[in-house]
Amino acid sequence: MSDFKDREKGEEAKFAFDEENAFKIAARRNRLLGQWAAELMGLDDEETNAYATSVVQADFEEAGDEDVIRKLLGDLTTAEVDVDEAGIRSMLEEKAVEARRQLMSES
């Protein structure tokens, strides 16, 4: 019985580790995405940091990426940046890969 409990604890620890990493990757991805959008909008360094933080926070509105995409599309459209939803989704995927690489290199 002890082996089963040990295995169960190991699985729970792995699940918690994987969930924490997924959260870190999503937050890093959103920050990178915010920095990309800020550059397109011509924001200065201080504004870029604030904007990137707001993109990270936007992801807490609902499950999935739609809240982030909606925010970026709205903000970029308001700033008269020529980008569409497909372009944002493509960049979201690119920044997810970059975020994963960055976090893996830090470990």
Task: Give residue-wise pLDDT tens across range 40-82.
Answer: 999 999 999 999 999 999 998 888 899 999 999 999 999 999 9
Q: Which of 60, 56, 62, 63 is nearest to 35 (CA)?
A: 56
Interhelix angle 66-78/45-58, nearest 10 degrees: 140
- For 8-17, how does the pLDDT look when each residue is reduced to its tens digit (9 = 90+)? 877 887 877 7
- The topology under which CATH files domain 2-106 is Major Prion Protein (1.10.790)
Structure tokens, 99: 């975020």
Banded pLDDT at 39 (limits 50, 70, 90): very high
Helical packing angle, 85-106 and 66-78, nearest 10°:
120
The Cα angle at residue 23 between residues 29 and 70, in degrees rounded to 5: 50
**68 touches 55 (CB < 8 A):** yes
CA distance linking residue 40 with residue 54, whole number of Å = 16
